[in-house]
């Protein structure tokens, strides 16, 4: 099993509902967030090109945050989900520095925090909070190892990219273009 997120940038309007839902679902403290919106503009007025993306931890297949963790608090779990065991984390910030996506932050309680793919919901057969609320239905979540899953079908049929492939971490959040 390999969980991935597939986000359709054609449908996304950057409304931040994903960010708000993550914050309420996961009690993310004020001033912090586990996902965020990036607006990328190329070219000049009057014909710029605009891509809006909902970004988060990429749950990489080769996660540098895991390999650099001195205590083993950052680990890869079922489905390739990268998680931090809060009690084992000593807050050394090595993982914050190692992540090329700037996906991690130090929680006010002292541990490294980030997106969990809402594994607590996924384990109960629900979608991650961000996916479940998106009013544009631009976000998809599922198992890439299952060729019949919606995410597999989307990645087969639509052009897509991932972020910073050159960093070599094998990110597992994909953007349909």
Partner 1 sequence: MPELSRRRFLKISSASIVTAGAAGSSLAALARTSGATGESGLRQVPTFCDICFWKCGCIATVREGRLWKLEGNPLDPLCRGRLCPRGTGGVGALTDPDRLRTPLIRTQERGAEKWKEATWEEALTHIAEKMKKIAATHGPEAMALFSHGIGGTFLKHTLKAFGSPNIAAPSFAQCRGPRDVGFRLTFGEDIGSPERTDIENAQCLVLIGSHLGENMHNTQVQEFATAVGRGASLIVVDPRFSVAAGKAKYYLPIKPGTDLALILAWMNVLVTEKLYDVEYVTKHGHGFEAFVAALAPWTPEWAYPETGINPALIRATAREMARYRPATLVHPGRHTNWYGDDAQRSRALALLNALLGSWGRKGGFYAPSTMAVPDYPYPEYPKAKRPKVDNPDHKYRFAHETLTTGIREATLTGQPYPIKGWLVYATNLLQALPSEAETIRAIQQLDLLVVIDVVPSETAGWADVVLPESTYLERHDELNVEVFKEPFVALRQPVIASPHDQKPNWWIARQLAVKLGLESYYPWKDIEEYLGARVKEAGLDFAELKKHGLIRGPREPLYFEDGAPAEFGTPSGKIEFYSNQLQQAGFDPVPKFTRPEAGPPGSFRLLFGRAPVHTFSRTHTNRVLSDMMSENAVWVNAAAARRLGLKSGDRVRLRNQDGVLSHAVGVKATERIRPDCVYLVHGFGHTARGLRHAFGKGASDAQLITRYKVDPLMGGTAMNVNFVTLEPAERA
Name the residues that contact partner 1, by CB under 8 A. 8, 10-11, 13-17, 19-21, 23-25, 27, 29-33, 36-52, 55, 102, 105, 108, 132-138
Q: How many CB atoms lie within 10 A of CB 38?
A: 11
Tokens of 24: 């309420």
From first CA to last CA, the distance across the chain in angstroms is 25
Q: Which two tokens stand for residue 112?
A: 């490294």
Q: How far apart are CA 132 and CA 135, in angstroms?
A: 9
Nearer to partner 1, 52 or 94 (CB): 52
C-beta of 97: minimal distance to partner 1 in Å?
Answer: 15
CB count within 10 Å of CB 60 equals 24
For partner 1, which is the closer residue by CB, 43 or 147? 43
Closer residue to partner 1, CB minimum distance, 14 or 80: 14
Shorter beta-carbon distance to partner 1: residue 9 or 152: 9
The residue among 1 and 50 lying less far from partner 1, judged by its C-beta, is: 50
Q: From residue 4, how far is each of 37, 54, 149, 157 by CA, in Å?
A: 18, 14, 11, 16
Dihedral of CA atoms 111, 116, 119, 121 in degrees, nearest 10, equals 100
Least gap, CB of 154 to partner 1 (angstroms): 11
> Minimal distance in Å, beta carbon 164 to partner 1?
12
Distance in Å, CB of 102 to partner 1, minimum: 7
Task: Tell me which residue has tokens 């996660």.
Answer: 63
């Amino acid at each position: 099993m390999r969980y991935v997120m597939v986000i359709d940038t054609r449908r996304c309007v950057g409304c931040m509902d994903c960010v708000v839902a993550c914050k309420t679902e996961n009690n993310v403290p004020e001033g912090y967030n586990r996902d965020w919106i990036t607006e990328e503009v190329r070219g000049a007025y009057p014909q710029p090109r605009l891509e809006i993306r909902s970004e988060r931890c990429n749950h990489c297949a080769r996660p540098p945050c895991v390999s650099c963790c001195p205590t083993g608090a950052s680990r890869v779990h079922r489905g390739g989900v990268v998680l931090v065991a809060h009690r084992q984390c000593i807050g050394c910030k090595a993982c914050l520095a190692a992540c090329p996506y700037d996906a991690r932050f130090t929680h006010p309680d002292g541990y490294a925090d980030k997106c969990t793919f809402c594994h607590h919901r996924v384990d109960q057969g629900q979608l991650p909070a961000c996916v479940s609320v998106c009013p544009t239905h631009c976000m998809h979540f599922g198992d890439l190892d299952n060729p019949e899953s919606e995410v597999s079908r989307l990645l087969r049929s639509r052009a897509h990219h991932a972020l910073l492939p050159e960093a070599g971490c094998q990110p597992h959040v994909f953007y349909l273009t």
